[in-house]
Amino acid sequence: MPRTTAREKKPQPLLPLPLVERLLAAAMSRGAEFAEVYVEKSTSTAVSLDEGKIKSAQSGSVTGVGVRAIRGAQVGYAHSDDLDEAALLRTAQTAALIADGTRQPGPIHMSRTPLPTYYQVRTPLADVEVARKIELVQQADAAARAYDKRIRQVMGGYADQTREILVANTIGHLAEDRQDLCRLGVQCVAFGKHNERRTGFHGGGGRVDFRFFEDFSPAQVGREAARQAVATLGAVPAPAGPQTVVLAPGWSGILLHEAVGHGLEADFIRKGTSLFAGKLGEKVASELVTVIDDGTVAGGRGSINVDDEGNAGERKVLIERGVLRGYLYDHLNAKLTGQRSTGSGRRQSFRHAPLPRMTNTYLAPGDQTPEEIIGKVQRGLYCRQFGGGQVDISNGNFVFEISEAYLIEEGEIGKPVKGAMLIGVGPEALKNVIAVGSDASHDPGLGTCGKDGQSVPVGVGLPTVRIDNLTVGGTGA
């Protein structure tokens, strides 16, 4: 369980606090109602392996400041990677241009908010020796190749980031956080007969200490990627058209992320461009469906002690037994609609203004075993592994890729079928959820979500779920 801890040793803030205050004052100087300074120092390391060799090891470090000024619904945003005081003051004055008056802002009282910690990362990942990161990728590669001689191409990668942030604003927030994040991933290509190629992908990570990989073994990652590629050799085309699908637990949570999650982000709600706008309290899904967005999952890839606007990460129930209960709010959209922030203001980096975003989005477990769920399907598709997805939040159309799937006949899992796209309309698909498993599971820590050109790490989760009448974009009969 996460717990509230006082930091043992307070290091120097990323930017001297008196300077932060001067920047806030400069951003307010033309009559803005709110100003914010976001300082970020991010150190990244990446190792890539291809054709059995460590192709490269790389690292980078980027520091910068983003300043935002808000007046009413209007936002001025400017950023700088030049950290000298004159450059930063110019940046703050640029953001201030959103307002066009003059104002002598009063003194700003900032107080540090004590934050809980949802990630127990002892050693910053940036400080772990590169040689150990290289070793992980090599172990995964060796295990994948040893799995089956038809595995002829393996690409492996490890990447991490240690991101330190400081957020201060004129309503008095002052928050600092260190957010470490890592990910190991392996892709395999299996070569079959007649030029057939199948791919498999596996990996994982999160906001975790490097010791995570003692349990989450790289060899297991390599073998799983290899298994997927080999298992789908000889797959027949997936049947096209609407059918019953059973989704295996874990990364299948991408369904929620696309089918409902984006449509509940408060910017779309305020603009009225989401089909979920104005539907609070209405039934939007089967009563088996309870959807939670939770920034407090221990070590979760999408977890945040604090969001990028200085608000603490939260657990939010979005849909409760099929009824729409809440939206995901950042500061601006909350303020404009008389709501409170749900700690959902996130940004890719100091070069971006925050947007309402998901953290870890998952479906609460039901009470059936996966075997019961599959056993009751006369004819359908069992989807075991998934790729990416996308949604159009206005008409609710969403897609997500299945990369490993099997036919279900008379309650038994049968032949593998080739990957295909699933397509549906959010609320309709969720009304067709007719069974939810007791095997709740989070994805292993792989997801990255894109919105308005900004990428942020997210988690998803789903137990085994049966959905009827979902369209499968296969090529078979």
Return the residues of window 168-227 that contact other proteins according to CB under 8 A. Answer: 189, 191, 195-199
> Which positions ≥6 away from 411 have C-beta within 8 Å?
374, 375, 376, 377, 378
Q: How far is the CB of 371 from other proteins (least distance, A)?
A: 29
- Please tell me the distance from the alpha carbon of residue 75 to that of residue 68, in angstroms, as a whole number: 7
- Smallest distance, Å, CB 211 to other proteins? 20
Does residue number 337 form part of the binding site for other proteins (CB under 8 A)?
no
Query: Least separation, in Å, of the C-beta of 134 and other proteins?
Result: 5
Cβ-count burial 364-401 (b if 16+ within 10 Å, e if not): bbbebebeebbebbeebbbbbbbeebebebeebbbbbb
Question: Per rule CB under 8 A, is residue 114 in the interface with other proteins?
Answer: no
Q: Where are the beta strands (DSSP E) in 289-440?
A: 291-294, 315-320, 323-324, 345-346, 355-356, 360-363, 379-391, 397-409, 412-417, 420-425, 433-436
> Which residue stretches of 306-424 are H helix?
331-336, 370-375
CB of 183 to other proteins, least distance (A): 16
Best CA proximity match to 89, nearest among 29, 49, 138: 29
- State phi, psi for 167 to the nearest 5 degrees: -125, 130
Q: Which of 419, 445, 457, 461 binds other proteins (CB under 8 A)?
A: 419
Choose which of 55, 150, 325, 376 interacts with other proteins (CB under 8 A). 55
Applying CB under 8 A, does 426 fall inside the site for other proteins? no
Size of the site for other proteins (CB under 8 A): 78
- Using the contact rule CB under 8 A, the part of the chain among 46-54, 105-113, 218-226, 288-296 near other proteins is 46-54
C-alpha–C-alpha distance, residues 477 and 464, integer Å: 26
47 binds other proteins (CB under 8 A): yes
31 lies in the site for other proteins, by CB under 8 A: no
| CB nearer other proteins, residue 399 or residue 434 | 399
Q: Which is nearer to other proteins, 107 or 272 (CB)?
A: 272
Segment lying near other proteins (by CB under 8 A), choices 57-65, 370-378, 438-446, 455-463: 57-65
Would you give the binding string for other proteins spanning residues 297-336, x where CB under 8 A is met? ----------------------------------------
| Nearest CA among 291, 307, 317 for reference residue 341 | 307
Chain centre to alpha carbon of residue 409: 35
Considering Cα of 362, then 365, then 371, then 372, what sign does the dihedral take? negative
Asked if 305 contacts 314 with a C-beta cutoff of 8 angstroms, the reply is no
- Rounded-to-integer distance, Cα 357 and Cα 348, Å: 11
* Binder among 339, 397, 438, 454 for other proteins (CB under 8 A): 397
Under the binding rule (CB under 8 A), the answer on residue 240 touching other proteins is yes
Q: For residue 161, how far is the Cα from the chain centroid?
A: 15
* Distance in angstroms between the alpha carbons of the first and the last residue of the chain: 49
Name which of residues 339 to 358 contact other proteins (CB under 8 A): 351, 353
Q: For residues 249 and 440, is the Cβ–Cβ distance under 8 A?
A: yes
Among positions 245-274, residues that touch other proteins (CB under 8 A) are: 268, 271-274
79 contacts other proteins (rule: CB under 8 A): yes
User: Which backbone phi and psi does 120 adopt, to 5 degrees?
Assistant: -100, 75
Which residue among 424, 437, 444, 461 contacts other proteins (CB under 8 A)?
424
Structure tokens that stand for 428 in this block: 């309709």
Binding residue (CB under 8 A) for other proteins from 20, 37, 38, 77: 77
Query: Cβ of 338: how many Cβ atoms within 10 Å?
Result: 6
Cβ 206 to other proteins shortest distance, Å: 23
Q: Which listed residue (153, 220, 339, 438) binds other proteins by CB under 8 A?
A: 153
Binds other proteins (CB under 8 A): choice among 395, 409, 412, 455: 395
Q: Which of 35, 98, 182, 225 binds other proteins (CB under 8 A)?
A: 98
The correct pick among 81, 282, 287, 409 for binding other proteins (CB under 8 A) is: 81
Q: Based on the shown chain and the rule CB under 8 A, indicate whether residue 233 belongs to the binding site for other proteins.
A: no
Segment lying near other proteins (by CB under 8 A), choices 68-76, 101-109, 118-126, 300-308: 68-76
Candidates 75, 142, 336, 413: give the one binding other proteins (CB under 8 A). 75
- Find all residues with CB under 8 Å of 96, minimum gap 6, and list them: 26, 27, 28, 29, 30, 32, 35, 69, 76
Q: Does 86 bind other proteins (CB under 8 A)?
A: no
Q: Which of 7, 17, 61, 371 binds other proteins (CB under 8 A)?
A: 61
Our finding on whether 415 is near other proteins (CB under 8 A) is no
CB of 272 to other proteins, least distance (A): 5
Token pair in block for residue 452: 């308005």
The yes or no reply on residue 162 touching other proteins (CB under 8 A) is no
Cβ of residue 60: shortest distance to other proteins, in angstroms?
4
Query: Exactly one of 73, 146, 236, 280 binds other proteins (CB under 8 A); which one?
Result: 73
Candidates 287, 358, 365; CA nearest to 319 is 287
Measure the CA–CA gap between 449 and 452, rounded to whole angstroms.
Answer: 10
Cα 271 from Cα 257, distance rounded (Å): 20
Region 433-472 residues binding other proteins, contact defined as CB under 8 A: 471-472
3-state secondary structure of 348: coil
